[in-house]
Amino acid sequence: MNPVKRDLTVLLTAPRGFCAGVDRAIEIVERALEKFGAPVFVRHEIVHNDHVVGRLRDMGAVFIDELEEAPDDRPVIFSAHGVPKSVPAEAEQRNMIFVDATCPLVSKVHVETERHSTQGLEILLIGHAGHPEVVGTMGQLPDGEIKLIETEEDAEKFEPQDPDKLAYVTQTTLSVDDTAAIVGILQRRFPNISMPHKEDICYATTNRQEAVKAIAPRAQALIVIGAETSSNSKRLVEVGERHGCRFAVLAAEAAHVDWDKLESVKPDTVGVTAGASAPEHLVQEVVEALKARYNVTVETIETAKEDVTFKIPRLLTA
């Protein structure tokens, strides 16, 4: 005799999953394969998700770590996270066909750094060392021109060359709350620091964090679908924990969720969301896995509507 399933409310956040920059990057690879045929080379993961990368690999995309691994006579695509200026410069020198899939919101940060540099300002980048986006942004200027600030402690200790000639930019996928704390320290210490004209943290990162904040007071547990390498997905877990979820976990897919640990929390309400590079079918697989274990009622909590789209490069639309 089958045991009676416990009742469980699943709070499904909206928005969740793919953002406009991820949609654009994936479409760029798909269109390049249609136009040029396989193989098309992609420098680094186009977005941080193994399922997305695997599907594109099956279609004929070849993912490489550095440009030197690509032949001169095949197209190459740069990932959504952005690349140092040296990379397209090398591609041009080799007369390669290349397409830049950098998210336009990351490109905006690149433009800001150049503007600050031409104004003679010392530039701080708030971000995580080693993340591809940070590597790309710091690579817009010569080595040493951009200083990385990772923590509140870094912000307290930093000593500028001139406190009145200082500017900051940020990685686009950070925690809104953590970044605000760091910015607050910089503004207290350096009142004349130049700020971005518009917030650098992207709309999708902000929206997904706000959605988690909205469900956290009701949910004893939170499942975030996303890759371990995805900065914005990791931040969603942190936001959930900070706002009261006893069990907040990042899982690449349903099979990676520790279901026994979830059950040990004895939740009556579980939140489900996805980072900006996680496809929707993975979310639905988690919902189905919950339905197999519980008597589930799904409630969608919508905190924002997203209608942002970004243009595809002209090379692929002609």
pLDDT (tens digit per residue) in 7-41: 999 999 999 999 999 999 999 999 999 999 999 99
pTM: 0.94
Strand partners, 251: 225
Read off the pLDDT of each residue in 282-310 and give the average, rounded to a whole number: 97
Catalytic residue chosen out of the listed positions 45, 122, 133, 253: 133
pLDDT at residue 225 is higher than 90: yes
- Mean predicted confidence (pLDDT) in 296-310: 97
Q: Is the pLDDT of residue 50 over 70?
A: yes
Contacts of 188 by beta carbon, 8 Å cutoff, 6+ apart? none
Residue 46: CB atoms within 10 Å: 24
| Average of per-residue pLDDT across 121-135 | 97
245 contacts: CB under 8 Å, gap ≥ 6: 216, 219, 220, 221, 222, 271
The mean pLDDT value for 142-146 works out to 95
Q: Is 302 a catalytic residue?
A: no
Sheet holding 7-14, edge to edge: 247-251, 221-225, 269-274, 7-14, 295-302
What torsion, rounded to 10 degrees, do the Cα atoms 262, 268, 271, 272 define? 60
Of 30, 23, 124, 125, the residue nearest 80 (C-alpha): 23
Both structure tokens of 201: 């943290």
**Domains in the chain, please, with CATH?**
7-18+203-302 (3.40.1010.20), 20-103 (3.40.50.11270), 104-189 (3.40.1010.20)
Task: Tell me phi and psi for residue 190, to 5 degrees.
Answer: -130, 80
Please state, rounded to an integer, the average pLDDT across all residues of the chain: 96
pLDDT digits 0-9 by tens, 156-192: 999 999 999 999 999 999 999 999 999 999 999 999 9
CA 272/CA 280 separation, integer angstroms:
11
Kindly compute the dihedral angle of the four CA atoms of residues 135, 129, 276, 223, in this order, to the nearest 10 degrees.
160
Q: What is the DSSP secondary structure assignment for residue 42, as one 8-state letter? A: E
Distance CA(207)–CA(14), nearest Å, equals: 9
Q: What's the confidence (pLDDT) of residue 3?
A: 72
Q: Which residue has the tokens 């953002």?
A: 19
Is the confidence at residue 1, as pLDDT, over 60?
no
**Confidence at 197, pLDDT banded by 50, 70, 90:** confident
Q: What single-letter DSSP state applies at residue 15?
A: S
Average pLDDT rounded to a whole number, residues 43-67: 96
Tokens standing for 8? 């469980």
* Predicted local confidence at residue 2, as pLDDT: 59
What 3-state class would DSSP assign to 79?
coil
pLDDT of residue 93: 97
E strands, 44-120, are: 61-64, 76-78, 98-100
User: Is 148 strand, coil or helix?
Assistant: strand
- Distance CA(13)–CA(139), nearest Å, equals 35
